[in-house]
Amino acid sequence: MIKSYKLRRTFSNILVYTVLLVLGLIWISPLVYLVLHSFRDEGLSTVSYLIPKTYSFKNYIELFTDTATLNFPRWFMNTFVVAIFSCIISTLAVLMVSYSFSRLRFKARKPLINIGMILGMFPGFMTMIAIYYLLKAMGLTQTLVALVICYSAGAGLGYQISKGFFDTIPRALDEAATIDGATRNQIFWKIILPMSKPIVVYTVLTSFIGPWTDFILAKIIMGDMRDNYTVAIGLQTMVSLEFKATYFKRFLAGSVIVAVPISILFLFMQRYYVEGVTAGGVKG
Protein backbone atom coordinates (compact mmCIF):
# COMPACT_ATOMS: atom_id res chain seq x y z
CA MET A 1 0.00 0.00 0.00
CA ILE A 2 2.75 2.44 0.97
CA LYS A 3 4.84 1.45 -2.07
CA SER A 4 1.84 1.93 -4.35
CA TYR A 5 1.24 5.40 -2.88
CA LYS A 6 4.90 6.33 -3.31
CA LEU A 7 4.86 5.15 -6.93
CA ARG A 8 1.72 7.19 -7.71
CA ARG A 9 3.21 10.23 -6.02
CA THR A 10 6.50 9.85 -7.91
CA PHE A 11 4.68 9.44 -11.22
CA SER A 12 2.50 12.47 -10.44
CA ASN A 13 5.55 14.60 -9.60
CA ILE A 14 7.33 13.51 -12.78
CA LEU A 15 4.26 14.40 -14.84
CA VAL A 16 3.84 17.79 -13.18
CA TYR A 17 7.51 18.75 -13.53
CA THR A 18 7.55 17.59 -17.16
CA VAL A 19 4.56 19.79 -17.99
CA LEU A 20 6.15 22.72 -16.16
CA LEU A 21 9.44 22.17 -18.01
CA VAL A 22 7.69 22.14 -21.39
CA LEU A 23 5.70 25.28 -20.53
CA GLY A 24 8.88 26.95 -19.29
CA LEU A 25 10.69 26.17 -22.55
CA ILE A 26 7.77 27.51 -24.57
CA TRP A 27 7.72 30.68 -22.47
CA ILE A 28 11.46 31.36 -22.58
CA SER A 29 12.10 30.42 -26.25
CA PRO A 30 10.99 33.83 -27.67
CA LEU A 31 13.26 35.58 -25.16
CA VAL A 32 16.22 33.40 -26.15
CA TYR A 33 15.53 34.10 -29.82
CA LEU A 34 15.31 37.83 -29.10
CA VAL A 35 18.63 37.97 -27.24
CA LEU A 36 20.54 35.72 -29.67
CA HIS A 37 19.40 37.53 -32.81
CA SER A 38 19.98 40.94 -31.26
CA PHE A 39 23.69 40.03 -31.61
CA ARG A 40 23.28 38.53 -35.10
CA ASP A 41 25.80 39.91 -37.58
CA GLU A 42 24.64 38.37 -40.86
CA GLY A 43 21.49 39.30 -42.78
CA LEU A 44 19.36 42.40 -42.52
CA SER A 45 15.79 41.34 -41.80
CA THR A 46 14.29 38.07 -40.56
CA VAL A 47 16.03 34.77 -41.31
CA SER A 48 14.79 31.19 -41.52
CA TYR A 49 17.23 29.68 -38.98
CA LEU A 50 16.92 29.93 -35.21
CA ILE A 51 20.57 30.19 -34.13
CA PRO A 52 22.70 32.96 -35.68
CA LYS A 53 25.94 31.99 -37.41
CA THR A 54 27.99 35.05 -36.45
CA TYR A 55 27.72 37.50 -33.56
CA SER A 56 28.73 41.11 -32.94
CA PHE A 57 27.75 44.25 -30.99
CA LYS A 58 27.13 46.11 -34.25
CA ASN A 59 23.35 46.25 -33.78
CA TYR A 60 23.64 47.84 -30.34
CA ILE A 61 26.29 50.31 -31.49
CA GLU A 62 24.27 51.40 -34.54
CA LEU A 63 21.14 51.69 -32.40
CA PHE A 64 22.75 54.51 -30.41
CA THR A 65 24.97 56.06 -33.08
CA ASP A 66 22.89 56.02 -36.27
CA THR A 67 20.17 58.49 -35.22
CA ALA A 68 19.64 60.42 -38.44
CA THR A 69 16.34 58.71 -39.33
CA LEU A 70 15.19 56.87 -36.21
CA ASN A 71 16.52 58.35 -32.98
CA PHE A 72 16.35 55.53 -30.40
CA PRO A 73 18.37 57.36 -27.68
CA ARG A 74 15.89 60.25 -27.77
CA TRP A 75 12.94 57.84 -27.55
CA PHE A 76 14.56 56.07 -24.64
CA MET A 77 15.09 59.34 -22.79
CA ASN A 78 11.52 60.48 -23.57
CA THR A 79 10.15 57.27 -22.08
CA PHE A 80 12.43 57.47 -19.06
CA VAL A 81 11.41 61.06 -18.27
CA VAL A 82 7.70 60.32 -18.70
CA ALA A 83 7.94 57.14 -16.61
CA ILE A 84 9.83 58.87 -13.77
CA PHE A 85 7.45 61.84 -13.46
CA SER A 86 4.37 59.64 -13.87
CA CYS A 87 5.75 57.23 -11.28
CA ILE A 88 6.33 59.97 -8.69
CA ILE A 89 2.92 61.61 -9.17
CA SER A 90 1.03 58.31 -9.37
CA THR A 91 2.73 56.84 -6.30
CA LEU A 92 1.93 59.87 -4.18
CA ALA A 93 -1.67 59.96 -5.42
CA VAL A 94 -2.29 56.24 -4.83
CA LEU A 95 -0.76 56.21 -1.34
CA MET A 96 -2.58 59.34 -0.17
CA VAL A 97 -5.96 58.20 -1.53
CA SER A 98 -5.44 54.75 -0.01
CA TYR A 99 -4.51 56.19 3.37
CA SER A 100 -7.55 58.48 3.32
CA PHE A 101 -9.96 55.64 2.56
CA SER A 102 -8.29 53.38 5.12
CA ARG A 103 -7.98 55.76 8.07
CA LEU A 104 -10.41 58.65 7.64
CA ARG A 105 -14.17 58.39 8.15
CA PHE A 106 -16.39 60.89 6.31
CA LYS A 107 -19.85 60.84 4.74
CA ALA A 108 -18.74 60.44 1.12
CA ARG A 109 -16.21 57.68 1.90
CA LYS A 110 -18.31 54.67 0.91
CA PRO A 111 -19.80 56.29 -2.23
CA LEU A 112 -16.33 57.36 -3.40
CA ILE A 113 -14.93 53.87 -2.81
CA ASN A 114 -17.81 52.35 -4.81
CA ILE A 115 -17.43 54.88 -7.61
CA GLY A 116 -13.70 54.16 -7.78
CA MET A 117 -14.37 50.42 -7.97
CA ILE A 118 -16.94 50.86 -10.75
CA LEU A 119 -14.74 53.17 -12.81
CA GLY A 120 -11.85 50.73 -12.46
CA MET A 121 -13.92 48.04 -14.19
CA PHE A 122 -13.99 49.96 -17.48
CA PRO A 123 -10.99 49.42 -19.80
CA GLY A 124 -8.85 52.49 -20.34
CA PHE A 125 -9.05 52.44 -24.14
CA MET A 126 -12.75 53.39 -23.97
CA THR A 127 -11.81 56.96 -23.06
CA MET A 128 -8.77 57.41 -25.29
CA ILE A 129 -10.55 59.32 -28.05
CA ALA A 130 -12.21 61.65 -25.55
CA ILE A 131 -8.86 62.21 -23.82
CA TYR A 132 -7.25 63.04 -27.17
CA TYR A 133 -9.82 65.73 -27.98
CA LEU A 134 -9.55 67.20 -24.47
CA LEU A 135 -5.78 67.43 -24.85
CA LYS A 136 -6.20 68.90 -28.32
CA ALA A 137 -8.49 71.60 -26.94
CA MET A 138 -5.79 72.47 -24.38
CA GLY A 139 -3.03 72.42 -27.02
CA LEU A 140 -1.16 69.54 -25.36
CA THR A 141 -1.26 66.87 -28.05
CA GLN A 142 2.06 65.46 -29.26
CA THR A 143 3.81 66.52 -26.05
CA LEU A 144 5.43 64.54 -23.23
CA VAL A 145 3.44 66.61 -20.71
CA ALA A 146 0.24 65.11 -22.13
CA LEU A 147 1.55 61.60 -21.48
CA VAL A 148 2.46 62.43 -17.88
CA ILE A 149 -1.02 63.88 -17.30
CA CYS A 150 -2.75 60.85 -18.81
CA TYR A 151 -0.71 58.29 -16.90
CA SER A 152 -0.94 60.01 -13.51
CA ALA A 153 -4.30 61.83 -13.48
CA GLY A 154 -6.38 58.73 -12.75
CA ALA A 155 -3.81 56.90 -10.67
CA GLY A 156 -5.79 57.38 -7.47
CA LEU A 157 -8.38 54.89 -8.71
CA GLY A 158 -5.84 52.11 -8.19
CA TYR A 159 -6.08 52.42 -4.42
CA GLN A 160 -7.43 48.92 -3.65
CA ILE A 161 -4.19 47.04 -2.94
CA SER A 162 -2.62 49.90 -0.99
CA LYS A 163 -5.77 50.42 1.07
CA GLY A 164 -5.77 46.74 1.96
CA PHE A 165 -2.17 47.07 3.16
CA PHE A 166 -2.90 50.17 5.27
CA ASP A 167 -5.85 48.33 6.83
CA THR A 168 -3.38 45.79 8.28
CA ILE A 169 -1.48 48.50 10.20
CA PRO A 170 -2.95 48.82 13.74
CA ARG A 171 -4.99 51.98 14.24
CA ALA A 172 -3.59 52.15 17.76
CA LEU A 173 -0.46 53.72 16.26
CA ASP A 174 -2.53 56.58 14.86
CA GLU A 175 -4.32 57.05 18.16
CA ALA A 176 -1.08 57.09 20.15
CA ALA A 177 0.46 59.61 17.76
CA THR A 178 -2.67 61.78 17.93
CA ILE A 179 -2.48 61.79 21.73
CA ASP A 180 1.15 62.94 21.44
CA GLY A 181 0.00 65.87 19.31
CA ALA A 182 0.79 64.58 15.81
CA THR A 183 -1.39 65.73 12.91
CA ARG A 184 -2.81 63.47 10.21
CA ASN A 185 -0.15 64.73 7.84
CA GLN A 186 2.64 63.88 10.28
CA ILE A 187 1.16 60.45 11.00
CA PHE A 188 1.07 59.63 7.29
CA TRP A 189 4.60 60.80 6.40
CA LYS A 190 6.50 59.95 9.59
CA ILE A 191 4.74 56.83 10.92
CA ILE A 192 2.68 55.03 8.28
CA LEU A 193 4.92 55.42 5.21
CA PRO A 194 8.14 54.24 6.93
CA MET A 195 6.25 51.08 7.94
CA SER A 196 4.84 50.56 4.43
CA LYS A 197 7.96 49.82 2.39
CA PRO A 198 6.47 46.75 0.60
CA ILE A 199 3.40 48.58 -0.66
CA VAL A 200 5.43 51.66 -1.60
CA VAL A 201 7.74 49.48 -3.71
CA TYR A 202 4.76 47.71 -5.28
CA THR A 203 3.15 51.04 -6.16
CA VAL A 204 6.39 52.44 -7.57
CA LEU A 205 6.92 49.39 -9.79
CA THR A 206 3.38 49.33 -11.17
CA SER A 207 3.42 53.10 -11.70
CA PHE A 208 6.72 52.89 -13.59
CA ILE A 209 5.93 49.87 -15.76
CA GLY A 210 2.70 51.31 -17.16
CA PRO A 211 4.22 54.36 -18.92
CA TRP A 212 7.35 52.39 -19.82
CA THR A 213 5.47 49.73 -21.81
CA ASP A 214 2.36 51.56 -23.04
CA PHE A 215 1.84 51.80 -26.78
CA ILE A 216 -1.80 52.53 -27.68
CA LEU A 217 -2.35 55.74 -25.71
CA ALA A 218 1.10 57.08 -26.52
CA LYS A 219 0.53 56.41 -30.24
CA ILE A 220 -2.82 58.21 -30.25
CA ILE A 221 -1.42 61.28 -28.48
CA MET A 222 1.87 61.53 -30.38
CA GLY A 223 0.57 60.88 -33.87
CA ASP A 224 3.40 61.53 -36.34
CA MET A 225 5.59 63.60 -33.97
CA ARG A 226 8.57 61.24 -34.29
CA ASP A 227 10.90 63.23 -32.03
CA ASN A 228 8.54 62.75 -29.07
CA TYR A 229 7.97 59.03 -29.58
CA THR A 230 8.35 56.63 -26.69
CA VAL A 231 10.33 53.42 -27.08
CA ALA A 232 7.15 51.38 -27.63
CA ILE A 233 6.14 53.51 -30.63
CA GLY A 234 9.72 53.72 -31.86
CA LEU A 235 10.24 49.96 -31.81
CA GLN A 236 6.97 49.45 -33.66
CA THR A 237 8.16 51.94 -36.28
CA MET A 238 11.36 49.93 -36.75
CA VAL A 239 9.38 46.87 -37.90
CA SER A 240 7.03 48.79 -40.18
CA LEU A 241 7.22 48.07 -43.91
CA GLU A 242 9.24 51.24 -44.50
CA PHE A 243 12.09 50.36 -42.11
CA LYS A 244 11.89 46.62 -41.43
CA ALA A 245 14.51 45.56 -43.96
CA THR A 246 17.15 47.84 -42.40
CA TYR A 247 16.15 48.13 -38.74
CA PHE A 248 14.90 44.67 -37.76
CA LYS A 249 18.10 43.66 -35.95
CA ARG A 250 18.22 47.03 -34.22
CA PHE A 251 14.61 46.45 -33.19
CA LEU A 252 15.71 43.24 -31.45
CA ALA A 253 18.59 45.05 -29.74
CA GLY A 254 16.27 47.86 -28.66
CA SER A 255 13.78 45.35 -27.23
CA VAL A 256 16.53 43.84 -25.08
CA ILE A 257 17.64 47.28 -23.83
CA VAL A 258 14.06 48.29 -22.99
CA ALA A 259 13.67 45.17 -20.82
CA VAL A 260 16.83 45.88 -18.79
CA PRO A 261 15.52 48.66 -16.44
CA ILE A 262 12.36 46.73 -15.53
CA SER A 263 14.31 43.51 -15.01
CA ILE A 264 16.78 45.25 -12.70
CA LEU A 265 13.95 46.81 -10.69
CA PHE A 266 12.25 43.46 -10.22
CA LEU A 267 15.47 41.68 -9.28
CA PHE A 268 16.23 44.14 -6.50
CA MET A 269 12.66 44.73 -5.32
CA GLN A 270 10.97 41.38 -5.90
CA ARG A 271 10.75 40.53 -2.20
CA TYR A 272 8.99 43.79 -1.35
CA TYR A 273 6.77 43.47 -4.41
CA VAL A 274 5.45 40.08 -3.28
CA GLU A 275 4.99 41.29 0.30
CA GLY A 276 3.05 44.31 -0.92
CA VAL A 277 0.70 42.23 -3.06
CA THR A 278 0.03 39.58 -0.40
CA ALA A 279 -0.37 42.02 2.47
CA GLY A 280 -2.60 44.30 0.42
CA GLY A 281 -4.92 41.49 -0.61
CA VAL A 282 -6.86 41.48 2.66
CA LYS A 283 -10.44 42.65 2.78
CA GLY A 284 -10.71 46.28 3.86
Which alpha helices (DSSP H) does the chain contain, by range?
2-38, 58-65, 72-103, 109-120, 128-137, 144-153, 160-167, 171-179, 184-187, 197-213, 216-222, 231-238, 244-279
CB-CB neighbours of 226 under 10 Å: 15
What type of residue sits at position 125?
F
Measured distance CA(146)–CA(103) in Å, rounded: 33
Per-residue pLDDT at 265: 79
Q: Which residue has the higher pLDDT, 217 or 265?
A: 217
Rg of the chain in Å (alpha carbons): 24
- Please tell me whether residue 44 adopts helix, strand or coil conformation: coil
Examine the pLDDT at 278 and tell me if it is beyond 80.
no
Examine the pLDDT at 89 and tell me if it is beyond 70.
yes
Residue 155 CB partners (closer than 8 Å, separation 6+): 89, 90, 91, 93, 94, 207
Measured distance CA(248)–CA(97) in Å, rounded: 44
Is the Cβ–Cβ distance between 199 and 165 less than 8 Å? Answer: yes
Residue 210 CB partners (closer than 8 Å, separation 6+): 86, 90, 151
Examine the pLDDT at 240 and tell me if it is beyond 80.
yes
Q: Which residue has the higher pLDDT, 51 or 93?
A: 93
Examine the pLDDT at 68 and tell me if it is beyond 50.
yes
48-54 average pLDDT score: 82
CATH of domain 61-279: 1.10.3720.10
55 secondary structure, DSSP code: B
* pTM greater than the 0.75 cutoff: yes
Residue 270 CB partners (closer than 8 Å, separation 6+): none
CB-CB neighbours of 116 under 10 Å: 18
- Count Cβ neighbours within 10 Å for each residue of 203-223 and write b for 16 or more, e otherwise: bbbbbbbbbbbbeebbbbbbe
Measured distance CA(142)–CA(221) in Å, rounded: 5
Is the Cβ–Cβ distance between 98 and 163 less than 8 Å? Answer: yes
DSSP letter string, 265-276: HHHHHHHHHHHH
Q: What is the mean pLDDT of the chain?
A: 85
Domain boundaries in the chain?
Answer: 2-57, 61-279
Per-residue pLDDT at 284: 45
Examine the pLDDT at 164 and tell me if it is beyond 80.
yes
For residue 276, what pLDDT band results from cuts at 50, 70 and 90?
low
Per-residue pLDDT tens over the stretch 148-160:
999 998 888 888 8
The distance in angstroms from the start CA to the end CA of the chain is 48
Examine the pLDDT at 142 and tell me if it is beyond 80.
yes
Per-residue pLDDT tens over the stretch 178-226:
888 888 888 888 888 888 888 888 888 888 988 998 898 899 999 888 8
- Percent of the chain clearing pLDDT 90 (strictly above): 23
Per-residue pLDDT at 23: 94
Per-residue pLDDT at 283: 47
225-246 average pLDDT score: 88
Examine the pLDDT at 145 and tell me if it is beyond 50.
yes
Measured distance CA(244)–CA(89) in Å, rounded: 37
Tell me the C-alpha to C-alpha distance, in Å, between residue 136 and each of 153, 191, 230: 17, 42, 19
Per-residue pLDDT tens over the stretch 57-67:
888 998 999 88
